[in-house]
């Protein structure tokens, strides 16, 4: 029997490849930094090529190896093109991080159906299509891989107050359920499928929650009394993407300052 690896060896991603969607900013860029710091070769994707170029420059300045590909996760043809490019560029995909997402704020009784479809198509349908193709064409033939889905604590329930986003809640709940379904199906094939459930982090999507008068009462209800920052997701994604998390699958890991632990005021 080989000797047990050290904790540093278990987290080492040198020689592995990672595809990160929504990797040009916010949580996706933070995740890309984490995987790059551990040694992974990166391919980041998002809709806007200019934002990808800026993110790639930042990652390369930090010493990471990174390629880019612009694709809209709501478009089947573009998702398939992303997979083709990833396989051609990386040779195989060891780690897939499904981070791209969208939201739409509206009271449920007034929620437009085209907005519902936009959110569901990107956050749920696009996640399934990309994950299916990566598994079918890379992870299953190679006998293993890591899928890390970025869901949200919105998957765990509704909210009281200004955040009215029924489609977002539904889509992130779908991602959480999909995570567990795929973990059960693909576990025998050596594929670990897990989800991170972030709380509030500074991001373009969360700007409405970070405004004065809104953020203070939100933070006051969090056990840690703070929102996420530019490093708070790094440990979680590295655990689930590396051999340090090799015996974890089907997990839904909140990274939320304790928000999901609060049952009442």
Separation CA 232–CA 235 (nearest Å): 7
pLDDT at position 158: 73
Q: What is the mean pLDDT of residues 19-39?
A: 98
pLDDT at position 209: 58
Q: Which CATH entry fits the domain spanning 7-253: 3.40.190.10, 3.40.50.720, 3.90.930.12, 3.90.1300.10?
A: 3.40.50.720
- Look at residue 1 and tell me whether its pLDDT is greater than 90: no
Q: Which of 126-135, 143-152, 208-217, 244-253 has the weakest average pLDDT? A: 208-217
**In this structure, what are the phi and psi dihedrals at residue 66, rounded to the nearest 5 degrees?**
-145, 140
* Catalytic-role residue among 28, 154, 163, 168: 168
pLDDT single digits (tens) 150-170: 999 999 987 655 568 899 999
145 is catalytic: no
User: pLDDT-based confidence at 81, cuts 50/70/90?
Assistant: very high
Q: What is the mean pLDDT of the chain?
A: 93
Longest distance between any two alpha carbons in the chain, whole Å: 62
- Look at residue 192 and tell me whether its pLDDT is greater than 70: yes
**224, 166 Cβ separation under 8 angstroms:** no
Q: What is the chain's alpha carbon radius of gyration, rounded to the nearest angstrom?
A: 18
Q: Which of the two residues, 216 and 63, has the higher pLDDT score? A: 63
Q: 252: how many CB neighbours lie within 10 A of its CB?
A: 19
pLDDT at position 58: 98
Pick the most confident of 58-67, 161-170, 213-222.
58-67
User: pLDDT-based confidence at 208, cuts 50/70/90?
Assistant: low
Separation CA 140–CA 249 (nearest Å): 16
Q: Where are the domains of the chain?
A: 7-253
* pTM reported for the whole predicted model: 0.94
Beta bridge partners of 248: none
Residue by residue, DSSP assigns 131-181 as HHHHIIIIIHHHT-EEEEEE--GGGG---SSS--BHHHHHHHHHHHHHHHH
User: pLDDT-based confidence at 223, cuts 50/70/90?
Assistant: very high
Closest to 135 measured CA to CA, from 95, 91, 174, 172: 95
pLDDT at position 160: 52
Q: Which of 9-23, 115-129, 195-209 has the weakest average pLDDT? A: 195-209
- For residue 15, with 0-12 CB atoms within 10 Å meaning exposed, 13-18 middle and 19 or more buried, which class applies? exposed
**In this structure, what are the phi and psi dihedrals at residue 38, rounded to the nearest 5 degrees?**
-85, -5
């Amino acid at each position: 029997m080989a000797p047990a690896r050290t904790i540093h060896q278990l987290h080492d991603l040198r020689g592995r490849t990672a595809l990160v969607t929504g990797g040009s900013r916010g949580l996706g860029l933070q995740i890309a930094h984490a995987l790059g710091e551990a040694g992974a070769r990166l391919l980041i994707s998002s809709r806007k090529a200019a934002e990808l170029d800026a993110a790639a420059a930042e990652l390369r300045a930090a010493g990471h190896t990174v390629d880019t590909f612009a694709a809209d996760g709501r478009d089947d043809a573009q998702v398939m093109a992303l997979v083709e490019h990833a396989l051609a560029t990386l040779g195989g995909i060891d780690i897939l991080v499904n981070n791209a997402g969208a939201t739409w704020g509206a009271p449920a009784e007034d929620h437009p159906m085209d907005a519902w479809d936009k959110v569901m198509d990107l956050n749920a349908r696009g996640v399934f299509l990309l994950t299916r193709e990566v598994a079918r064409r890379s992870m299953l033939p190679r006998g293993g891989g890591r899928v890390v889905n970025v869901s949200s604590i919105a998957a765990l329930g509704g909210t009281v107050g200004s955040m009215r986003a029924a489609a977002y809640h539904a889509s992130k709940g779908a991602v959480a359920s999909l995570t567990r379904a795929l973990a059960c199906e693909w576990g025998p094939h050596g594929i670990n499928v897990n989800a991170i459930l972030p709380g509030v982090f500074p991001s373009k999507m969360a700007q409405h929650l970070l405004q004065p008068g809104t953020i203070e009462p939100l933070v006051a209800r969090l056990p840690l009394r703070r929102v996420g920052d530019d490093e708070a997701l790094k440990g979680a994604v590295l655990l689930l993407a590396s051999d340090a998390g090799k015996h974890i699958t089907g997990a839904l890991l909140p990274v939320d300052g304790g928000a999901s632990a609060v049952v009442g005021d």
